[in-house]
Amino acid sequence: MIPRGTVARSHEAVRACLFPGALAVDATVGNGHDTLFLARAVGSGGRVEGLDIQASALTAARERLEQAGALDRVRLHQGGHEALLRILPEAARGRVRAVMFNLGYLPGGDKGVVTRPDSTLAGLEAAAGLLAPGGRIAVVGYPGHPGGAEECEAVSEWARKRRPDGLLVRHQEEPESGHCGPRLLVLERGPVSGED
The Cα angle at residue 105 between residues 140 and 71, in degrees rounded to 5: 80
pLDDT of 166 higher than 70: yes
Rounded CA separation 6/175 (Å): 11
End-to-end CA distance of the chain, in Å? 40
Residues 54-96 pLDDT 10s: 999 999 999 999 999 999 999 999 999 999 999 998 899 999 9
Q: Which class for 161: exposed (0-12), middle (13-18), buried (19 or more C-beta within 10 A)? A: exposed
pLDDT of 193 higher than 70: no
What is the pLDDT, as a whole number, of residue 196?
A: 43
pLDDT of 150 higher than 60: yes
pLDDT of 3 higher than 60: no
Identity of the residue numbered 160: R
pLDDT of 164 higher than 90: no
5-189 maps to which CATH number? 3.40.50.150
- pTM reported for the whole predicted model: 0.91
Supply the DSSP symbol for 95.
Answer: T
% of residues, the chain, pLDDT over 90? 65
Torsion of CA 67, 6, 182, 138, to 10 degrees: 80
Residues 31-53 pLDDT 10s: 999 999 999 999 999 999 999 99
What is the pLDDT, as a whole number, of residue 160?
A: 86
Mean pLDDT, range 14-34, rounded to an integer = 96
